[in-house]
Chain A
């Protein structure tokens, strides 16, 4: 299905039961979603979380009411699924500390604490607008000028926001 078909048109077709339209949306956003998950979730969990996100999208799509842009709605689902993952992650972590039994429970506290993990935690602790500008540039691959257009801001404002976001990470990493 052509790249020139809008997200909204594809969503309407998918809501009418057009499997190819859903497939086109999935193809269009797979890399972006996958990159966003990589930015925020331990690497060994990225595939599972990505899968849960797309299943949630397939299940929720019939209820999408076109009040927001599709990608705004999609990224809300991404954020919610990542938040759900961390709720399970910390619960599992508590269980693994309390339990004496050996089992499939992974204690993520024992995970290798390398620069990537530190950076990921710093990114997760940033305010949402700082996280978003970094994800738009790195995960979605949008040039700064395109980010400015999408967000309705000046190029200077976008570059300034980006620099402050990177500075915030540097400060958190340095702590």
Chain B
């Protein structure tokens, strides 16, 4: 074991003792001058950070209340933004697609069926094709919009 390994182990052991709150006399327990200097730093850090000293309970209580208020405000904002949720957007997209396709199909069907005097006559192949193309274009545009929103 070289000198550095020895120093590493000694300093780690001394740190453990200090952090356990056990008093350590620099003169009696640490003979090495170099180690004494390092031990002083460890003592200083222990006093600075004082890990055993908890926060003031009054501060903790204040922070608890502040975070509760913050949580409530954030949650309220999230509820207000329900329309921005992905599930709602997907549902709205699906509904819009259905309405667009059905509406176009009805219009196209109605035009061709006008000759027979019925509003809901069977769709012509041309009307079906037109409705399909428009539906595909709308679906592609909707998908493109949704993917951009997700990024």
**A residues whose Cβ falls under 8 Å from a Cβ of B:** 17, 19, 22, 26, 30-31, 34-35, 38-39, 47, 50-51, 54-55, 58-59, 62, 115-116, 119-120, 123, 134, 137-139, 141, 143-144, 156, 159-160, 162-163, 166-167, 169-170, 173
Measured between alpha carbons, how far is A96 from B102 in the docked complex, in Å? 71
Asked if B51 contacts A116 (CB within 8 A), the reply is no
- Chain A: interface secondary structure? helix
Chain A residue nearest to B79 in the complex (CB): A17
- Chain B: interface secondary structure? helix
List 9 A-B pairs, minimum CB-CB distance, nearest first. Answer: A159-B8, A159-B12, A138-B49, A119-B44, A163-B8, A39-B49, A116-B48, A58-B70, A47-B59
Asked if B56 contacts A47 (CB within 8 A), the reply is yes
Q: B residues 57-102 with Cβ under 8 Å of A?
A: 59-60, 62-63, 66-67, 70-71, 74-75, 78
Asked if A58 contacts B67 (CB within 8 A), the reply is yes
Measured between alpha carbons, how far is A167 from B66 in the docked complex, in Å? 41
CB-defined contacts of B40 to chain A, threshold 8 Å: 170
Measured between alpha carbons, how far is A39 from B53 in the docked complex, in Å? 13
Number of chain B residues close to chain A: CB under 8 A: 37
Chain A residue nearest to B70 in the complex (CB): A58
CB-defined contacts of A167 to chain B, threshold 8 Å: 38
Asked if A160 contacts B4 (CB within 8 A), the reply is yes
Residue among A55, A120, A170 having the largest count of chain B Cβ atoms under 10 Å: A170
Contact residue among B4, B46, B54, B59 (Cβ-Cβ distance under 8 Å from A163):
B4
Judged by a CB distance under 8 angstroms, whether B29 is at the interface is no
Asked if A19 contacts B71 (CB within 8 A), the reply is yes
Contact residue among B9, B41, B46, B74 (Cβ-Cβ distance under 8 Å from A58):
B74
**B residues whose Cβ falls under 8 Å from a Cβ of A:** 4-5, 7-9, 11-12, 15-16, 19, 37-38, 40-42, 44-51, 54-56, 59-60, 62-63, 66-67, 70-71, 74-75, 78
Chain A residue nearest to B51 in the complex (CB): A35
Measured between alpha carbons, how far is A137 from B12 in the docked complex, in Å? 10
CB-defined contacts of A19 to chain B, threshold 8 Å: 71, 75
- 8 pairs, CB–CB < 8 Å, chain A vs chain B: A30-B60, A31-B51, A38-B49, A138-B49, A162-B8, A163-B4, A163-B8, A169-B45
Asked if B70 contacts A169 (CB within 8 A), the reply is no
Chain B residue nearest to A169 in the complex (CB): B41
Chain B residue nearest to A39 in the complex (CB): B49
Asked if A173 contacts B71 (CB within 8 A), the reply is no
CB-defined contacts of A139 to chain B, threshold 8 Å: 49, 51
Known: A30-B55, A144-B12, A159-B11. A134 touches B38 (CB 8 A): no
CB-defined contacts of A30 to chain B, threshold 8 Å: 55, 60
Contact residue among B5, B15, B66 (Cβ-Cβ distance under 8 Å from A51):
B66
